[in-house]
Amino acid sequence: MKVSYFKTNKAAVFREWRISRSWWLGIGVLSLWAPIFNVIAVIENLKWGTVSQSVFWYALVPALYGFHSFSSVMLPSSHFHAYSDPIISAVWVLIAVIIGVIPWATDRSTDGIYSALSAPIKRSEMIFVKFSFGLVIVLGIQLFRGLLLILLNSWAGAPIGWNLFASWWLTNTLAMVVAMTTALFLASIMKAWFFAALSSLVVLSIPFAIASFLDEVIHYTSSLWVAPPPFASMAHVPDPFGWLRALSPIFWTGEAESASGSQMSMQIYFSTGTHFLFMAGWVWIFYLSWIVVVLLLAIRLFRGIPAENLTDFFFYPSMWKWGMGAISILLGYILTNGSSFIPHYGMVFIILFLLYTIIIFFIVRFLIRLYWRIRKE
């Protein structure tokens, strides 16, 4: 018998839309906050007298900012407000993560996953349909935000150039898709959607935490080095991690504060268009690669999960340890350095960071064990 795959796909799409539509509606309502966020960004930065730049920064950061190598941090600290903008960016990252997690959360809560796995729907189709829905929602939100950005910039008397606008739109859209795909991937291998969302934030921020940690170590131990060569070259060790920071949009606040006094403003980069495009191009390639790799990984792993494991908290038991470690590091980082209000104290920070991480690791482990004990009883 000839099997119509196209028809099966349509069934998977219909099913996905039907079981998650109220959630998608919720996300749509949530995105209506966009104008409020945008206005806050402008009003906050009016105090600094840099309306148009602030709007632009709010829109473009964090992607490009995160792409700088660590040892050559250059920041326009005088051009944007360090507190409101990061929060606004973080909201969109969070929304992207929720978009990635929703399709799995609804599938689990309705038990629809069981009948789907015994229907003529391939597992890869399930993942792909969920990704496609997430993509459509992100694109919708970004179109809305883009329109608002144009309107706000016009209102502020500094219309944004189309080339910069396109760069902003593409960079931010890809950044949201990166966050959404990462969340979708983790939710496909975990049963508890909340932990999948939390772990996504960890995965998206952990490269920054690692880079920051190494940077701190090198910076605060440099005085102990005996001679510049060959140790001076060690200052560039964290550089590759700087690339990964492109995935850490929620953690650029602290750096903005700490890097004041940089020799060169980011503004210079943007005035030299070639350099900007070069950097942005790398960001886009990096983001696209991340999306493709994570999506393929999600399909590959989900196809390998036996149905009986779908009832486990983590479908892969070994992920317990990884998840706990990652959550601990994130919380440790947030408590020691995640807020711009906490100043850096060099080695004290490093020790505190490690101490917090260890403590939090044990607290998280205790809570998870407690959860399982209560569940068993």
Of 29, 47, 49, 118, which one interacts with other proteins (CB under 8 A)? 118
Residue 19 binds other proteins (CB under 8 A): yes
Residue 128 binds other proteins (CB under 8 A): no
* Residue 331 and residue 203 in contact, taking contact as beta carbons nearer than 8 Å: no
Classify residue 192 by its DSSP letter: -
Report the DSSP beta bridge partners of residue 190. 314
Q: Rounded CA gap, 21 and 92, in Å?
A: 20
Residue 377 binds other proteins (CB under 8 A): no
Stretch binding other proteins (CB under 8 A), from 118-126, 167-175, 218-226, 347-355 = 118-126
Q: How far is the CB of 22 from other proteins (least distance, A)?
A: 8
Q: Report which of 176, 199, 161, 168 is spatially closest to residue 320, judged by C-alpha positions.
A: 199
Of 48, 83, 114, 278, which one interacts with other proteins (CB under 8 A)? 114
Name the residue with tokens 């260890």: 358
Buried b (16+ CB within 10 A) or exposed e, 51-80: bbbbbbbbbbbbbbbbbbbbeebbbbbebb
> Distance from CA of residue 78 to its chain's centroid?
25
Q: Rounded CA gap, 58 and 83, in Å?
A: 11
**Which lies closer to other proteins via its Cβ, residue 16 or residue 255?**
16
Residue 303 binds other proteins (CB under 8 A): yes
Q: How far is the CB of 247 from other proteins (least distance, A)?
A: 31
Residue 112 binds other proteins (CB under 8 A): yes
> Distance from CA of residue 97 to its chain's centroid?
8
Mention every residue, 6+ apart, whose C-beta is less than 8 A from residue 274: none
Kindly state the number of chain residues that form the binding site for other proteins, as judged by CB under 8 A: 29
**Which lies closer to other proteins via its Cβ, residue 20 or residue 337?**
20
- Residue 314's φ and ψ, nearest 5 degrees, are -105, 135
Residue 15 binds other proteins (CB under 8 A): yes
What residues numbered 254-293 form the site for other proteins, per CB under 8 A? none
Residue 300 binds other proteins (CB under 8 A): no
**Which lies closer to other proteins via its Cβ, residue 308 or residue 377?**
308
- Residue 190's φ and ψ, nearest 5 degrees, are -125, 150
Report the DSSP beta bridge partners of residue 314. 190
Residue 35 binds other proteins (CB under 8 A): no
Of 1, 29, 224, 226, which one interacts with other proteins (CB under 8 A)? 1
Stretch binding other proteins (CB under 8 A), from 117-125, 155-163, 239-247, 344-352 = 117-125
Axis crossing angle, helix 162-189 with helix 273-303, rounded to the nearest 10: 20
Residue 10 binds other proteins (CB under 8 A): yes
Residue 121 binds other proteins (CB under 8 A): yes
Residue 317 binds other proteins (CB under 8 A): no
SS (H, E, C) 333-351: HHHHHHCCCCCCCCHHHHH
Residue 115 binds other proteins (CB under 8 A): yes
Of 25, 166, 285, 307, which one interacts with other proteins (CB under 8 A)? 307
**Which lies closer to other proteins via its Cβ, residue 123 or residue 344?**
123
Residue 117 binds other proteins (CB under 8 A): yes
Q: Report which of 132, 107, 89, 84 is spatially closest to residue 23, judged by C-alpha positions.
A: 107
Note the residues at the interface with other proteins (CB under 8 A): 1, 3-5, 7-8, 10-11, 14-15, 18-19, 110-112, 114-115, 117-123, 125, 303, 306-308
